[in-house]
Structure 1
Amino acid sequence: MNTNIFKIFGLVVSFLFVIACTNEEATEQLDESTFITEEAELSAKVDNATEVISDTFLQVFENEEAPVRIPGHRFLPDCATVTVSMTNTTKNVTVDFGSEGCVLDNGNVLKGKLIMAYAIDTEARTLVIEYSLENFYVNETQFEGSRSVTRQKENENGNPQYAMAMDLTITFADGTTATRSGTKTREWIEGSFNGNWGDNVFLINGSWSTTFRNGNTHSTTIVTPLRREASCRFIVSGAVELVRSRFTGTLDYGDGACDNLATFENGAGDIREIRL
């Protein structure tokens, strides 16, 4: 009798142990899934903010180097100040959005300085432009670092194209930090050189890595070109693949609607909506 009781007791303990382990494992998987989604959301916000920087850079450069130059920079808000200095061979351009910030037409708020330098060569088919950021913010996120941009007047499609190498440090409003390095190619597919920045459209390809403060690194590859419309505050379509150690996922920016929504699908097929 006692033997049977001990056997039953042992089975109950084993059963409870298995349930506890299963629940713990499920909780860990849920926590990990949530954590990965949060990192994906931060990565998406960086993607969007870096495109705001690229918009601003290209807008200023193309206005400065336009065959028929429009006085001032009518695509920038009035609170932005553009300073130009030149030698016989080089041109330096500084755009200062001030410490309080300037609101762009698409609703993004920029603070700090964007500084660029390049050789004076109006006939060059390709031109290398170096630029750096000083106390620079896109909305509440700070960006530090530099980029090297190779501007091609015409690619094989007959469109202007910009190859960008980046090395940036990002600090979010809550103090969370990340670094990003990699390359992007921006093809200007609509609205080029017509004097109306608001109708410009770019397709973006490339790959890069983002390392968060905790040491986790996302390797990112664009699998469907990202579509950037200058009139919209957000990337409107395209998809990137995220890889981190044994986890993968796809970040999809949607079907072209101008909104702050995207979806993240992890390797198990679970889909979550995220906000840019």
Structure 2
Amino acid sequence: MKSYFSTNRVLAVTIAAVGVATLFFACKKEVTTDTASNNENDNNTLVVASHEAQAQGIYGDLFETAAIAAVDQNVAGNVRKADYEDYANVTACPSILISSADPNVWPKKITIDYGDACRDNYGITRSGKMYITLTGLLFNNNTHIDIQLDGYKYNGIPVAGKNSISGISFNATTGIQYTTEITGGRISYSDTLIVGYTSKKTVKQTAGAGTPTPNDNVYSIEGNASINYEKGGPAGNATIASQTPLLKANACKWVSQGKALVAYGSLSATIDYGNGVCDDKATITINGDKVREVTLK
């Protein structure tokens, strides 16, 4: 399955978490009077920023997966099928089952079973199960969707939590808009690093709805998130808020515009995805003066 907004490829900032964070300021050329404690706080803030970008990509993948399954089971409703038809049958797995094919029976439950490993054509391997409950056709106005994960892994990383999707609206002129909320999120990077995650964000189509192909579609993402470390990682909690909307165009592999603000303790970091130029670069700025360029995947 290909991610609808390709968030599984574009929002995960590749910083290699703690390993690269420890090198962040060692590579700077200017003279600094920061204490070791200050450097540690700066590096921890960078780690938090990287985990937010990764979590955004992992959980952002869920709605797109649900949309592909809904198209596969003919419960998508009034949506331009071309946005999904070239994604829906690209691999032999996973298996997708629906509780009832009767168009008058709601809610419906879709079960996606990835088995032990299901690799899509874009390099993402998933395993476990996903349960999707819909109160109506997916793209009907005000349909509510709940997504539950059961033994689910994303590229070998165990992921837990509930994704509730509400406020769905769609029409041929403005495209799609919805609100996505993650509760009880948990990403288990290892036995010694478990990241707790919650978020509430709005996704809105900003261009391309009235054209015959999906190539010119553009989407904005705005909202808030929080991170806490259930095991390992920096002490304390962090909050993330949109500073300007993140913009993702179908024609570009990466998010190419927008900023997110990460607050960790007394420090803040800004993730800047650029000014609209399609490239694989973003910058993280800590407290307004320490800057690191990172590569997007």
Structure 1-normalised TM-score?
0.76
Tell which deviates more after alignment, 34-43 or 228-237.
228-237
- Cα separation, 2, equivalents of 1:249 and 1:203: 21
CA distance in 1, matches of 2:247, 2:139: 29
SS at match of 2:61: helix
Tell me which amino acid in the other structure corresponds to 1:184.
K
Q: Distance in 2 between matches of 1:67 and 1:172?
A: 38
Is 1:112 matched up with 2:128?
yes
Query: Residue in 2 aligned with 1:42?
Result: 51
Percent identical pairs in the alignment equals 19
Cα offset, 1:182, TM superposition: 2.5
CA-to-partner distance for each residue in 1:107-160, whole Å, 9 max, x for gaps? 3333322211122368953111111112222224321011111142248x8332
Q: 1:164–1:110: structure 2 CA closer, same or farther, 3 Å change rule?
A: same
What is the aligned partner in structure 2 of residue 19 from structure 1?
none
5 Å matches for 1:1-276?
A: 26-61=35-70, 64-67=75-78, 74-76=86-88, 77-86=91-100, 88-105=105-122, 107-120=123-136, 125-154=141-170, 158-167=174-183, 168-173=185-190, 175-190=192-207, 192=209, 200-213=217-230, 214-229=234-249, 234-254=254-274, 255-259=276-280, 261-276=281-296
Judge conservation of contact 1:263–1:273 (CA < 8 Å) in 2: yes
What is the rounded CA distance, in whole Å, between the counterparts of 2:210 and 2:190 in structure 1? Answer: 36
Partner of 2:29: none
Q: Is the 8 A contact 1:186 1:202 kept in 2?
A: yes
SS of 1:170's partner is strand
Q: For the residues of structure 2 that align with 1:79 and 1:51, how far apart are their CA atoms?
A: 21
Instruction: Note if contact 1:48-1:235 (Cα within 8 Å) is conserved in structure 2.
Output: no
Matched to 1:61, the amino acid is: A
CA contact (8 A) 2:96 2:111 kept: yes
Query: What is the deviation of 1:104?
Result: 4.0
Q: Give the distance between the partners of 1:212 and 1:250, measured in 2 at CA.
A: 20
Q: 1:57 to 1:188 in 2, by over 3 A?
A: farther
DSSP-derived class of the 2:255 partner: coil
User: Counterpart of 1:127 in 2: which secondary structure?
Assistant: coil
Provide the rounded CA distance (Å) in 2 between the counterparts of 1:95 and 1:159. Answer: 26
Assess if the C-alpha contact under 8 Å between 2:77 and 2:140 holds in 1.
no
Cα distance in structure 1, aligned partners of 2:252 and 2:150: 25
Counterpart secondary structure, 1:29: helix
Give the match's secondary structure for 1:125: coil
Change (3 A) 1:68 1:269: closer
Deviates more, 1:197-206 or 1:180-189: 197-206
Question: Highest Rg: 1 or 2?
Answer: 1
**Conserved 8 A contact 2:223-2:241:** yes
Partner of 1:113: helix, strand, or coil?
strand
Shift of 1:190: 4.2
Structure 2 residue identity aligned to 1:263: T
Q: 1:122 to 1:101 in 2, by over 3 A?
A: closer
Q: Under a length normalisation based on structure 2, what TM-score does the superposition of the two structures give?
A: 0.71
Gap runs ≥5 in structure 2: 1-31
SS in 1 for 2:56: helix
- Provide the secondary structure at the position in 2 that maps to 1:249: strand
Matched pairs, number: 250
Structure with bigger helix share is: 1
| 1:188-220 alpha-carbon deviations (Å, 9 max, x no partner) | 334559896666432111111111235421111
- Computed over aligned residues only, the root mean square deviation of the Cα atoms, in angstroms, reads 3.3
* 1:31 CA drift (Å): 2.6
